[in-house]
């Protein structure tokens, strides 16, 4: 049955620049530069006691990035990197796959290739999604039912609304509560960052979060519950009381427009990009390895974002 409501269409203003950015995402030169090769040849002296590392952290980070960007197993990652060095006529030793796996699990993965910029009025959007560790696929479960245990992890991200970049990430078991992860996400921000607004769904409308954001000089924008009441005697609820008053007098849609709650959709777009690029499953079984994979994927997504994003606008429907 046909409907009279055609699908909303969008057009991209900066298609030429965005097309170049999409092409650049597949370039190996995006990840390998001369500075890395120089450090590879002559590792910097370590401040830690004991035998110096044969393979610098930057090399391990590069191999882990190649593995996630091109969806390679550990052994194929080593072979892939070796073939690149051979084509470049560079004679540098590579770690074996067990060394790579061990080093990745204890390596700190920065979410940015360059230090993040500290801004005075940061607007954060937060959300969570599930990623599978083991178990049957969705198609098999839908068709024949579940016959074995499926294990999931929950990834929580904080995203800078202005730059689209992921600035904080945590991983928990499936039953974990979303709002409890916000303090750890905020701790990952650059020193001196001030959060003007934090946007989340109804799960983030909690008193301790309102207090926490007030300490950052900001406020929480989250839809109150349907039966929410005013708390004029409690200063922690001051911003939420304003939202409840608007909803009671003008309606929930008016509150969403006035508060700019629609901006939270940007983090949902990021979650969609995340799963389209990397899938919804993790390959490693240890908690440290899973967190490493998630942070590597977030770092790659930030690099892709920095190359260019589409500037779209609502087109007239035919």
The per-residue pLDDT for 1 is 44
Closest CA to 127 of 235, 12, 32, 267: 267
State mean pLDDT over 134-155.
73
Its sign, for the CA torsion 245, 250, 253, 256, is negative
Question: Residue range 300-309: average pLDDT?
Answer: 92
In total, the chain counts a number of residues equal to 318
Query: Each residue of 63-73: pLDDT tens digit?
Result: 999 999 999 99
pLDDT reading at 51 higher than 60: no
Report H helices in the chain.
15-24, 34-41, 57-69, 74-88, 97-105, 138-144, 182-187, 207-215, 238-250, 252-259, 265-278, 287-307
Contact between residue 92 and residue 41 where contact means Cβ atoms under 8 Å apart: yes
**Residue recorded with tokens 């349907």:** 226
The predicted structure's pLDDT at residue 37: 67
What is the pLDDT at residue 53?
A: 66
Highest mean pLDDT: which range of 118-132, 147-161, 253-267: 253-267
Mean pLDDT of 196-200: 94
Angle at alpha carbon of residue 183, lines to 177 and 187, rounded to 5°: 140
Interval 165-192 mean pLDDT: 89
Average per-residue pLDDT for the chain: 85
- Strand duo 195-199 + 219-221: pairing: parallel
Contact 270, 155 (CB under 8 A): no
Q: What is the pLDDT of residue 260?
A: 93
Residue of 106 and 317 predicted with greater confidence: 106
The reported pLDDT for the residue numbered 89 is 81
Q: Tell whether the model's pLDDT for residue 111 goes beyond 80.
A: yes
Kindly report, residue by residue over 169-180, the tens digit of the pLDDT: 999 987 778 999
Domains and CATH numbers, the chain: 13-107 (no CATH), 122-272 (3.30.420)
User: Tens digits of per-residue pLDDT, 237-249?
Assistant: 888 999 999 999 9
Order the strands of the 122-134 sheet from edge to edge: 166-173, 151-160, 122-134, 195-199, 219-221
Lowest mean pLDDT among 94-98, 172-176, 209-213, 265-269: 172-176
For residue 167, the model assigns a pLDDT of 93
Percentage with pLDDT > 90 across the chain: 50
Look at residue 74 in the predicted model and tell me its pLDDT: 93
pLDDT band per the 50, 70, 90 thresholds, residue 132: confident
Q: How far apart are CA 170 and CA 172, in angstroms?
A: 7
Q: What is the pLDDT of residue 318?
A: 46
């Amino acid at each position: 049955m046909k409907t009279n409501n055609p699908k909303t269409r969008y057009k991209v203003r900066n298609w030429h620049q965005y097309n170049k950015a999409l092409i650049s995402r597949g370039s190996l030169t995006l990840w390998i530069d001369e500075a890395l090769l120089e450090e590879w040849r002559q590792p910097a002296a370590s401040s830690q006691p004991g035998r110096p590392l044969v393979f610098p952290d930057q090399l391990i980070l590069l191999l882990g990035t190649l593995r996630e960007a091109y969806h390679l197993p550990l052994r194929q990652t080593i072979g892939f990197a070796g073939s690149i060095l051979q084509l470049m006529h560079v004679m540098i030793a590579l770690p074996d796959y067990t060394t790579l796996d061990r080093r990745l699990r204890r390596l700190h993965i920065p979410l940015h290739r360059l230090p993040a910029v500290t801004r005075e009025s940061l607007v954060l959007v937060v959300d969570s999604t599930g990623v599978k560790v083991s178990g049957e696929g969705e198609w098999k479960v839908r068709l024949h039912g579940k016959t074995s245990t499926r294990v999931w992890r929950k990834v929580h991200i904080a995203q800078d609304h202005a730059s689209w970049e992921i600035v904080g990430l945590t991983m928990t078991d499936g039953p974990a509560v979303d709002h409890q992860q916000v303090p750890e996400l905020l701790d990952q921000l650059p020193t001196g960052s001030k959060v003007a607004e934090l946007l989340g769904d109804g799960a983030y409308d909690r008193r301790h979060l309102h207090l926490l954001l007030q300490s950052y000089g900001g406020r929480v924008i989250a839809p109150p519950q349907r039966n929410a009441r005013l708390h004029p005697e409690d200063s922690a609820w001051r911003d939420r009381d304003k939202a409840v008053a608007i909803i009671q007098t003008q309606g929930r849609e008016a509150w969403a427009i006035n508060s700019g709650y629609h901006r939270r959709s940007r983090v949902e777009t990021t979650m969609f990009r995340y799963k389209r690029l990397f899938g919804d499953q993790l390959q490693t079984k240890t908690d440290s390895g899973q967190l490493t994979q998630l942070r590597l994927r977030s770092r790659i997504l930030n690099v892709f974002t920095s190359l260019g994003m589409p500037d779209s606008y609502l087109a007239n429907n035919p």
